[in-house]
Amino acid sequence: MIEVKTEDSVTVISLDRGEKRNAMLPGMLTEFESAVRGIGEDSKAVVVNGKGKVFCAGFDLKACAADESGDTMRALLTGLSKCIVAMRECSVPVVMGVHGCAIAGGCAMLGGADVVVCERGAKLGYPVVKIGVSPAVSAAFLMSAVPHGAGRALMLDPGLIDGSRAFELGLVHEVVEDAGAVDSRVMELAGSLAAKPGVGVRETKRLVNAITKGTSDLGGDGLEASLSRVGSDEERAMLGAVWGS
Element (H, E) at 233: helix 233-242
User: With contact defined as beta carbons under 8 Å apart, do 231 and 120 qualify?
Assistant: no
Task: Please give the single-letter amino acid code of residue 10.
Answer: V
φ, ψ of residue 206 to 5 degrees: the values are -60, -45
Radius of gyration for the alpha carbons in the chain, expressed in angstroms and rounded: 17
The model carries a pTM of 0.92
pLDDT tens readout for residues 118-128: 999 999 999 98
Residue 1 has pLDDT above 80, yes or no: yes
Task: Please give the single-letter amino acid code of residue 245.
Answer: S
What is the CATH code of the structural domain delimited by 2-180+193-198+213-242?
3.90.226.10
* pLDDT-derived band at 245, boundaries 50, 70, 90: very low
* pLDDT-derived band at 236, boundaries 50, 70, 90: low
pLDDT tens readout for residues 44-86: 999 999 999 999 999 999 999 899 899 999 999 999 999 999 9
**Domain extents for the chain?**
2-180+193-198+213-242
Q: Distance between CA atoms of 103 and 23, rounded to whole angstroms?
A: 10
Residue 229 has pLDDT above 80, yes or no: no
Please tell me the predicted confidence (pLDDT) of residue 240.
Answer: 61
Q: Distance between CA atoms of 104 and 240, rounded to whole angstroms?
A: 18
